[in-house]
Amino acid sequence: MSRIRTVLAFLFSVVVFGTVAVVAALSMGLLAIPLASSWPGWWGRACLWIAGIDVEFTGLEHLRGPGTRVLVANHTSALDVPLVAALSPGAPLCLAKKELQWFPVFNLVWWSHGQVFVDRRDPARAAASLADVVSRCKAASRTIILAPEGTRSRDGTLGRFKLGAFRLALATGAPIVPVVVRGAGSLMPPGRWFTRPGRVEVRVMPPVDTSGWTEDNLKARATALEGAYRGWLEG
């Protein structure tokens, strides 16, 4: 039954992704931001429901209201994509690893919605991608979404935080909003193609003020938030 649910969720996603990619492309990019702010929320919740995933969301009030923010979430499972989408942050600007540009349908949605691929193996290109994100945020209030670990955990434990999210917060002056996902890794760990039905907890924590951050204390800030995550995940 879990395999059937997973296949149905995948087919549903292909139809939704294909449709919104075509609409965004036909609008010549004019509908990219309105579309990105509307459909991911209901798609994420519907996809999780089809897959048999029961989710408890708390702290959603921390994502309400205008303004640029940097949303960071721990990453243990492919389920994290619909889980974060279901939060429905306004005008999301998402960063994904460059390798996903070859993933069918997903890549069309990414390109048509003006999202960003990051080449983690090339520091110069990665820096250029981050600079592009900063300029877009200064032009319009956006919610930047990325995993502070930089990649998905292979064993379910929290990885070391990289500085990309913190440099974005420093450059934009935006607060960091931590999102803590618990339980997704055991339902669909890396290497598993089918999800198990079950329960996941998603907690949106209060925003972290970054107004006092500098390049000199950036590493310490990242280490402090990583420590807070370890406490939240164990609590």
The reported pLDDT for the residue numbered 20 is 78
Domain that holds residue 36: 2-234
Residues of the chain with pLDDT under 70: 29, 32, 90, 94, 96-130, 136-140
CATH number of the domain that 152 lies in? 3.40.1130.10
Query: DSSP 3-state assignment of 17?
Result: helix
Predicted confidence at residue 112, as pLDDT, reads 62
- β pairing state of 198-204 and 176-182: antiparallel
Burial class of 143 by CB neighbour count within 10 A (0 to 12, 13 to 18, 19+)? buried
Sequence-distant (≥ 6) Cβ neighbours of residue 48 within 8 angstroms: 9, 55, 79, 82, 83, 86, 200
93: closest CA among 18, 174, 151? 174
Cα end-to-end distance, the chain, whole Å: 32
pLDDT for 232: 94
* 40 within 8 A of 92, measured Cβ to Cβ: yes
Q: Return the pLDDT at 106.
A: 63
Q: Encode pLDDT of 77-99 as tens digits.
A: 989 989 998 997 767 776 766 66
How many domains, in total, are found in the chain?
1
**C-alpha closest to that of 197 among 76, 49, 58, 56:** 49
Angle at 118 between CA 104 and CA 115, to 5 degrees: 60
User: What local confidence, expressed as pLDDT, does residue 105 receive?
Assistant: 61
Q: What is the pLDDT of residue 111?
A: 64
Question: Which of 167, 148, 168, 146 shows the shortest CA–CA distance to 158?
Answer: 148
Q: How far apart are CA 213 and CA 126, in angstroms?
A: 22
Give the type of residue at 44.
G
CA atoms within 13 A on the CB side of 64: 4
